[in-house]
Amino acid sequence: MEPEINCAVACVNGCVLGDRCPHRAYAQAATKFVAETSLDAMLDIAEAARIKKMSAPPQWVIPDEI
């Protein structure tokens, strides 16, 4: 059994698991998206997400009482 690794930390300079990576399908989908989507379309997507986030009501975080 493979030990669990934190991909956000261990794979900063590239995947350390290679073909055994559990997130391989996501990497392929991301590569396909980048290859098939123009930069202008990506900027439009990002702008729409920014506007949606800015128009959402604020979310309050109440810390646990000590």
pLDDT in tens, 13-63: 888 888 888 888 888 899 999 999 999 999 999 999 999 999 999 888 888
Name residues whose C-beta falls within 8 Å of residue 55's C-beta, 6 or more positions apart in sequence: none
Please report the pLDDT score of residue 3 as a whole number: 65
32 part of a folded domain: yes
Residue 32: give the domain boundaries: 7-55
Are 10 and 16 contacting, i.e. CB atoms less than 8 angstroms apart?
A: yes
How many domains are contained in the chain? Answer: 1
Please report the pLDDT score of residue 52 as a whole number: 95
28 part of a folded domain: yes
pTM over 0.85: no
Please report the pLDDT score of residue 5 as a whole number: 81
11 part of a folded domain: yes
